Amino acid sequence: MKSLYKMALIILISKINVFAQLSAPIVEDVYGGRINAIAGYSKTADTSRIFISTESANSVFYTDVFANSSSPAFGRFHVMPGLDASANYGSNIKLIAAHAASGNLFFAKENQIFSSNAASSVVSVAYSASGLIESILIIDNYLFFSQAGNFHFGTLDSGGNFTEDSNSPIGFTSSGGQKVVYKNPVTNQLYIFTEGTVPELFKFSDAYSSLSSTTTTSSISLSSLSSSVNWKGVGIAPDGRLFVISDDKYVAYSDDEISWTQFSALIGGVANKTIAFSGDSTNYRVYSASMYSASKGESGTWLSFGDPGGMETHPNDGDVFVDPLNENIIYLTTDQGIGASIDQGATIFEIDDGIEAVQVNDFSMIADKSSAWLAAKSGLRKVINYLTFPVWTNAIFPNNDGSPYYSIEMSKDDTNRVYAGNVRIYRSSDNGNNWSQIFTPENSPYNFPSVGTMANAIEECKFSPNIVMAGFEIQNTNKGGLFVSEDYGNNWEQIYLETSTDGEDVDIADIVFNLEGSDTVAYVGAIYDLSVPQGRSIYRVVKNGSNWLASQDMDATGTAVGYPITATIQDLEITASSDTIYATGTDAGINHPITYYKIVSGTNLWTTMTTTGYPFSSGKQATAVTIGVDTIYVAVDNEIYYFPLGGTQWQLGYSYPVGTRINFLYFDELLAGTSFGLYGHIGIKNPTAIESETEYIPDNYSLEQNFPNPFNPTTTIRFSIPNSEFVSLKIYNVLGKEVANLINENRSAGSYKIYFDGSHLASGVYFYRLRAGKFELTKKLLLIK
């Protein structure tokens, strides 16, 4: 699963042996992630501000879009200052709404409504009471939300302060389930929809701006709708036509709120709570999940986003949003992150730049370091030309399988062969251009469940590359298993660790191969589970002819302490000389993180590394280990610790925000795959005299000419700063109008590369300007399409 080939971190190249700490993380160009919700408002006469909430510790991002144009310009996303990973608002913010007058974003979390502004790190509580917030809507300067069977409303002032109306709340009787509040654009009345196979829909008697103590609600009958599907979303078109959409893309609409027309859109997938519209009452389009209709939502008129114009990545069934200034611009969720269309859905493209919300799970690189692959919750990514001008691909989904990916493995003897794992195992023989599903434990005789099964590890044997192993975990109380192929993945069989029959056995976290004498040996890290069958610690699996013999390697005879070690082993790493194996995980006795090593050529016993300086406390988990030139690195929760070989104690290298999970470490320099992105670290020998480290820190400011130039549509801009300070790098057209904001934040001293994509700009001359402290320099770049 993890290779020991040393990697040169091109952003800041150095060779560090002994150092005092690790640098702050430097983001790799892996952007995107799962998007929960989209909102926005008209910031100026020509600029829209767009917000997205994500399934990551970086909860919310924003960007400005020059939208009032036939050639819109999409800016780089930035995390909201008060809603980044350090703020601990989490990955489950799904209800958001934007207020134009104040520029605030309002969002619901459990029983509270908060507000935040991109200009400040302050997050304020706008409302708090018992009961789950079920929906939220802002219209002009009015805020509406439902909570525990009550409908609340009030006003927002120019500062975004909420004052609840004296007649609020209005009670209504409804079953449980997700609520959606929507305004009828013809009558200005509000509607509340409750999802389900037996959905409910209520209408208020007064316009949204005239709710009072006499306002009542009436039920609109949905009894004629099919009860075999889950009705999920509601929307009201410019002519007052009422739409509801269900999973399986089943659509229903009514022009009189009495009789309903319902049909299948003949497009696969599920529904989302949002239905959006563009156009007027005589001619409008309907958008929902991954599809749209150009003809008022009529049967037979629905198409997938990207049809017929094309797509960069696949749209998924998340939120949709029509730009508040330019209704030709549609924002939608994709398997990679967030996409956009400037032709009302016919063509879609990615606009993920700056979204650090990719849950990165695994990484693999070939020996010459020229290319690598990454596995993430939102697909696979490939990087080429890593040591010169690295370029990351958009997300790749083998056979359009959008399930999260947990493992990736590049072949040791054929650079075109790649393995990837989610629930299933895929293989490409042409470096990712085409994929084949080569194994799934969902099939008989194994019958693993499709939901909850994870291929945590894929490992090709470096000295016998025809041998490939895959380790699976099944979440909750079920167990995974270990599988092997000896013909490059064409045929598979199970290796029994604790059981003696095909099927559930032991949850697997990691696998490494070693050649010990003439024996092919696999070490398998297991997830501790004392329910039957038991699984724990490390298994040693030895090839014996056509069979594989498995034994527990941390029994009493295999440990330096002389008694069994019971632990979850999350990660294994073996030295380049194959003489020492390191393992890290969590002790099962008092649930503390721990790291072990085994000198194969010496004692051949698993020995506990010193805990001096180590976060040896209950509740913490060690998740990753890697080996440097003369240093061991281990991730524990949100922190990276290092141990210089020959040293006496562990030292803290860097702390990510609390709540961050570090899924892997990869040396040289140090890469960390986290729950919200891929980051590089360098070692700093003397952080109090950093300017003297001219091998690592530039002496002067510089802004290099972009390369290539002219370009179409991407180019690279490199710059260096000798001090840690606020940096601005922006692109302007010949009229002096800003068309892209590439950097606008504090940056550490160092050398940087920035990739600029001019796909959505017209051909012509542009300028890029670097400002850092008192330094300022502008250069010209030429886009030719």
Give pLDDT tens digits for 707-724.
888 888 878 888 889 988
Side chain identity, residue 587: D
Q: How many residues does the chain have?
A: 785
What would the mean pLDDT of 667-684 be, rounded to a whole number?
A: 78
Provide the pLDDT for residue 667: 75
d(CA 407, CA 429): 17
Residue 683 binned pLDDT confidence (cut-offs 50, 70, 90): low
Contact 115, 106 (CB under 8 A): yes
Q: Cα(376)–Cα(310) distance, rounded to whole angstroms?
A: 24
Mean pLDDT of 305-331: 93
pLDDT exceeds 80 at position 201? yes
Q: What is the pLDDT of residue 761?
A: 86
Q: Which pLDDT band holds residue 9 (cuts at 50, 70, 90)?
A: very low
Tens digit of pLDDT for each residue in 350-386? Answer: 999 999 999 999 999 988 888 999 999 999 999 998 7
Mean pLDDT of 498-504: 95
Report the percent of the chain where pLDDT is more than 70.
94
Q: Under a CB-based contact definition with an 8 Å cutoff, are residues 609 and 598 in contact?
A: no
For residue 308, pLDDT beyond 60: yes
Largest CA distance in the chain: 87
Q: How many CB atoms lie within 10 A of CB 135?
A: 21
| H or E element that contains 765 | strand 764-772
What is the predicted pLDDT for the residue at 322? Answer: 98
Q: What is the mean pLDDT of residues 430-449?
A: 97
pLDDT at 661 over 50: yes
Report yes or no: 220 and 231 within 8 Å, Cβ to Cβ.
Answer: no
Q: What is the mean pLDDT of residues 405-434?
A: 96
pLDDT tens, residue by residue, 14-65: 233 344 467 778 788 899 999 999 999 999 999 999 999 999 999 999 999 9
On the question of pLDDT at 143 being above 80, the answer is yes
pLDDT (0 to 100) of residue 589: 65
Q: Which domains, from first to last, does the chain contain? A: 698-783 (2.60.40.1930)
The whole-chain average pLDDT of the chain stands at 90
pLDDT at 398 over 90: yes
Sign for the CA dihedral angle at 498, 502, 508, 511 comes to: positive
Cα dihedral 651/657/658/659 (nearest 10)? -120
8 A C-beta contact, residue 60 and residue 343 = no
Q: Give the pLDDT confidence score for residue 24 in this predicted structure.
A: 76
150-173 pLDDT, tens digit per residue, is 999 999 999 999 999 999 999 887
CA-CA-CA-CA torsion for 282, 287, 292, 298, nearest 10 degrees?
Answer: -50
Least confident range of 447-451, 608-612, 672-676, 681-685: 681-685
pLDDT value of position 609: 96
DSSP line for 14-60: ---SS-SEEPPPEE-S--EE-EEEEEEEE-SSSEEEEEEEESSSS-E
- Of the two residues 672 and 123, the one the predictor is more confident about is 123
Task: Calculate mean pLDDT across residues 190-201.
Answer: 95
Residue 2 — very low, low, confident or very high, per pLDDT cuts 50/70/90?
very low
User: Where is pLDDT greater, at 449 or 682?
Assistant: 449
Share of residues in the chain with pLDDT > 90 (%): 71
pLDDT band per the 50, 70, 90 thresholds, residue 691: very low
Mean pLDDT computed over 266-295: 95
Query: What average pLDDT does this structure show over 206-223?
Result: 96
750-776 per-position pLDDT tens digit: 888 887 878 778 888 899 999 998 888
Q: Using the predicted structure, report yes or no on whether residue 694 has a pLDDT greater than 90.
A: no
In eight-state DSSP terms, residue 399 is: G
The secondary structure of 96-149 as a DSSP string is: EEEETTTTEEEEEETTEEEEE-TT-S-EEEEEE-SS-EEEEEEETTEEEEEETT
pLDDT band at 604 (very low <50, low <70, confident <90, very high): very high
Give the pLDDT mean for 112-136: 96
Q: Are 106 and 113 in contact (CB under 8 A)?
A: yes
Q: Is the pLDDT of residue 284 over 90?
A: yes
Mean pLDDT computed over 213-235 = 94
Pull the structure tokens for residue 323.
């730009």
8 Å CB contact between 327 and 278: yes
Residue 530 clears pLDDT 80, i.e. is over it: no
Mean pLDDT of 731-741: 85
Does the structure show a pLDDT above 70 at 116?
yes
Report strand pairing: 764-772 vs 725-732: antiparallel
3-state SS class at 753: strand
Alpha-carbon distance 324 to 330, whole Å? 10
Give the separation between CA 39 and CA 668, rounded to whole angstroms: 40
- What pLDDT score does 538 carry? 98
How confident is the model over 443-484, as pLDDT tens digits?
999 999 999 999 999 999 999 999 999 999 999 889 999 999
pLDDT of 190 above 90:
yes
- Which pLDDT value is given to residue 669? 62
Least confident segment among 22-31, 276-285, 622-631: 22-31
Confidence of residue 566 (pLDDT cuts 50, 70, 90): very high
Looking at residue 695, its pLDDT comes to 38
